[in-house]
Structure 1
Amino acid sequence: MSLFALQVVLVAGAVQGLFLAVLLFTRPQNRLANRMLGFLMLLLSLQSVLVAFDTREFFLAFPHLSKVSWLLPSLFGPLVYLFTAKLTSQQPAWHRRDFLHFIPFVLCLLYLLPYFAQPAAAKLAYLSDFEKASEDDFGTLNQLLNFLHLGYTGAALLLIRKHEQRIKENFSSLHKIRLRWLRQFVWLVFGIILFGVAVFYARLWQVPWMTDIYHYHYLGVIVCIYWIGYKALSQPAIFSKVQPITQEAAEPVPLYDVRPDIQEESPVDEKEGTVAVKYQKSGLRDEAADTYLQQLLGYMQEQKPYLQNELTIQELAAAVAIPKHHLSRILNERLGKNFYDFVNDYRVEEAKRLLLDPAFSHYSTLGIALEAGFNSKPTFNAVFKKQTGLTPTAFVSQAKIPV
């Protein structure tokens, strides 16, 4: 690819990024997270232009833009992390501690401030030896920024993992578009950064053939911008507001008269708007836990709530009149399962029954999945194989083999 072609692609990506930034800034849903992502797209667009015109002639014509490309990346990692944190937060809001993530930017600015404060003549004198100025691009500051990017994106992946665990404790279905999209987004960013770091050091150490692709590694960022733009336009639901997963349901309506003697539930934290769900050893005695467990298993067997595709732990807790935090504790400690696995175990057993029932022989795999409580064929196939070691089709074939 020629330099001109590279510049065209990078500038086109910058325009796409600006368009996406405007789109995100004007979205009323999930405003805080969207604005962070929009600000990130804006910075990536500016960086794309600087990378596209990273030539001696450009910076001699615009000396005050030199080294700006050193400063902007100090915001990339923190913004990816904060975007992930706010998107997965149960109560997204801006906190004072969030300002701490901008310390790298402040430190970089202080480091570069003496250069930025110089007059144009001094910068032109520095840029006149463009080869020496280019070597400075691989100095300590940019090396530290590389690891800052990796650290922040790695931390974002840990946030997503914790979020997945919280969802499995509260939902029986994991089809939420946002989680899947967010995981893909952060992994894509992490991969681009990792490749960029490899190319960076290849150029620094003059590694053969990899040195030649240094100027093209930013194309990965352009791919990321276009991909995010596609997702934003084709799947707008990914930017909608999330229902807090710890929001308690209304006061449970007892379906059973069995009410073991327990201590009162943890009080509502008015500041955070959620109910504490930490297990308290004194909060649920063994006798009460045993009673609750039998109450739960009996209800699952008789009422089959798992047939509801979108069953949540709040709904089940209300139905069996068990406080949500006690129900979660029983599942984890007595059954060794989270809510997601607990419900889907019943769904798999129901699916096995339906697959072998002649009355349902005309049903498709998706039809069986929906009847058993699953909401999609891929989820059904994955969970069924995990539980049985067989696909639904293989299970039916094996069951028909005479023993």
Structure 2
Amino acid sequence: MQDLNFQNNILNILIVFGGLQGLILSTVVFFYPDRDKASNNLLAIFIFTAVILLLAPILQIQLGWKHVWIFHCTKFITISALYLYIKSLSEKVSLKRTLKHFSFAAAYIPIALHYVSYIQNKYQVTYEYAGGQDIYDQILSITNLLYIGFYIFLYIKAYKLHQERVLQNFSSEQKLGLNWIKQLIFGFVGIIIVSYTLYAFVLANPEFSTKGCLINVAAITVFLYFVTIKGKISPEIYKLRKIVGETAEADGNSGKERIPSRSKKGLKTNNPQLLTIAEKITEALRDEEFFRNENVSIRELAEQIGEQPYLVSQAINAVVGKTFFELINEERINLAKRLLVSDKYNHLSLVGIGFEAGFNSKTTFNTTFKKITGMTPSEFRRTESVMEV
């Protein structure tokens, strides 16, 4: 009995402490600088609704099952808010679009009310209901899983689109939100898996309900702490959204800019303006110092040749048949190959060569080098040495 009371006390402390932490975080994020207001608002909504789910167990203890179950409708806002937040990192998310994704939560309220009334009358529930006793429970669980599965698909799709936009506009995938997005997706999906696994286990073993709830709350709390630490994203992530927004505005597509297919290599155009810009790009890239800057973007290239970023992007794709990312990294690899066989740089390690060529990590250098040349930097240096002998 003492052990059970101790577990309940720890559970209550964890829930309250985690809830307060989440509420403070959501407030801080909501009032963060206006520069990233749209994204911050969506992240604040995600955190706040996650906190409501975190507080649900202790509210159920205090208020009873029938008064708290309705709060579970907020999980649909939590799930869709994460998707909208990911989208907002590279494009404008309109109020209409936001309400469209949140509408399922509103539509679910009458279903939740009917469910509570149905269970209360059928099983004479007055205060506590464990769940899983009725076919209604299974139907709602399956519906929830389908909804979650659909949004996981949207998460992955949004991530790939964000990555595509990064490759179109930047020479590096670092500091542009890609890792942050992956961490959010994997973290949130992990929480969902833990919750449903524990729910199934507790249904089969009711005596472990308190421990199961404790583990679930601890997992959600840790995730909220993770968001607390990582939530203040570097302003560099919003460089992409600004460039995409300018491109969309220039194309008149209201935020839905066309992203050229990366599979159409060698695509040619007779557009004289794009051909002229392509020549300027080729001339600019003769300056090694330009692409040796590890964080160079298409905006900087556009400024150097005196053209609009969206026109530079079109020229690279239509005339050169590559993305900006591919173009810059091929130039870096060509430079690295020259450095690897140069006596002037034979004192440098392979990592040093990579940094000299403009790469910001050993892994990125090795991966890109092998992708373009078919061999690692060390294999290339060894092969060239043998050929010279």
Q: TM-score, normalised by structure 1?
A: 0.74
Offset at residue 304 of structure 1 (A): 6.3
Q: Which residue of 1 aligns with 2:50?
A: 44
Can you give the 5+ residue segments of structure 2 that lack an aligned partner in the other structure? 262-267
* Whole-angstrom distance in 1 between the partners of 2:322 and 2:253: 31
Who is 1:70 aligned against?
72
Match of 1:165 in 2: 164
Shift of 1:46: 2.4
Contact 2:53 2:72 in 1 (8 A): no
Change beyond 3 A, Cα 1:359–1:163:
same
For 1:300, the equivalent position in structure 2 comes to 285
Aligned match of 1:245? 243
Verify: 1:221 aligned to 2:226, yes or no. Answer: no
* CA distance in structure 2 between the partners assigned to 1:45 and 1:135 by the alignment: 27
- Partner residue of 1:392? 377
SS in 1 for 2:125: helix
Counterpart for residue 255 of structure 1? none
1:316 and 2:301 are equivalent in the alignment = yes
- CA gap 1:52/1:239 in 2 versus in 1, 3 angstroms: farther
Whole-angstrom distance in 2 between the partners of 1:366 and 1:278: 33
Q: Partners in 1 of 2:277 and 2:89 — Cα distance?
A: 34
Partner of residue 111, structure 1: 111
- Cα separation, 2, equivalents of 1:84 and 1:274: 15
Structure 2 residue 101 is the aligned partner of structure 1 residue 95: no
Structure 1 residue 344: Cα displacement:
0.3
Q: In the alignment, is the contact (CA less than 8 A) between 1:80 and 1:152 conserved in 2?
A: no
CA distance in 1, matches of 2:102, 2:245: 31
Where does residue 148 of structure 2 map in the other structure?
A: 149
TM-fit CA distance, 1:6: 4.1
RMSD, matched Cα: 4.2
Q: Structure 2: how far apart are the matches of 1:184 and 1:272? A: 29
TM superposition shift of 1:350: 0.5
- Does the 8 Å contact 2:84/2:93 carry over to 1? no
Give SS of 2:49's match. helix
TM-superposed CA distance for 1:383, in Å, is: 1.8
Aligned partners of 2:71, 2:167: CA distance in 1, in Å?
A: 41
Which consecutive unaligned segments of at least 5 residues does structure 1 have? 250-265
2:243·2:309 contact (CA, 8 Å) conserved in 1?
Answer: no
Which residue of 250, 257, 272 maps to 1:268?
250
C-alpha distance in structure 2 between counterparts of 1:271 and 1:294, whole Å: 27
**Paired amino acid for 2:20:** V
TM-score normalised to the size of structure 2? Answer: 0.77
Give the secondary-structure state (helix, strand or coil) at the position aligned to 1:268.
Answer: helix
Q: Distance in 1 between matches of 2:208 and 2:383?
A: 52
Q: What SS does the corresponding residue of 1:70 show, helix, strand or coil?
A: helix
1:260-305 deviations in whole A, cap 9, x for unaligned? Answer: xxxxxx98367948988879xxx95267766665554354346663
In the TM superposition, residue 309 of structure 1 has moved relative to its aligned partner by 3.0
Please tell me whether the aligned partners of residues 246 and 310 of structure 2 are also in contact (alpha carbons under 8 angstroms): no
Q: Please list the CA deviations of residues 229-287 of structure 1 after superposition, one character each: whole Å capped at 9, or x if unmatched.
A: 1223xx652697545123669xxxxxxxxxxxxxxxx98367948988879xxx95267
- Give how far 1:114 is off: 5.4
C-alpha deviation, 1:168, in angstroms: 0.8
Sort the Cα spacing of 1:357 and 1:225 in 2 relative to 1 into closer, same or farther, 3 A: same
Contact 2:90 2:244 in 1 (8 A): no
Change (3 A) 1:300 1:153: same
Aligned equivalent of 2:133, options 127, 132, 135: 135
Kept in 2: contact 1:14–1:48 (CA 8 A): yes
User: Equivalent residue for 1:189?
Assistant: 188
Higher helix share: 2
Partner secondary structure for residue 354 of structure 2: helix
Q: How many residues align?
A: 372
Q: Which residue of 1 aligns with 2:338?
A: 353
- Counterparts of 1:326 and 1:82, CA distance in 2: 28
Shift of the 199–349 alpha-carbon distance from structure 1 to 2, 3 Å rule, reads same
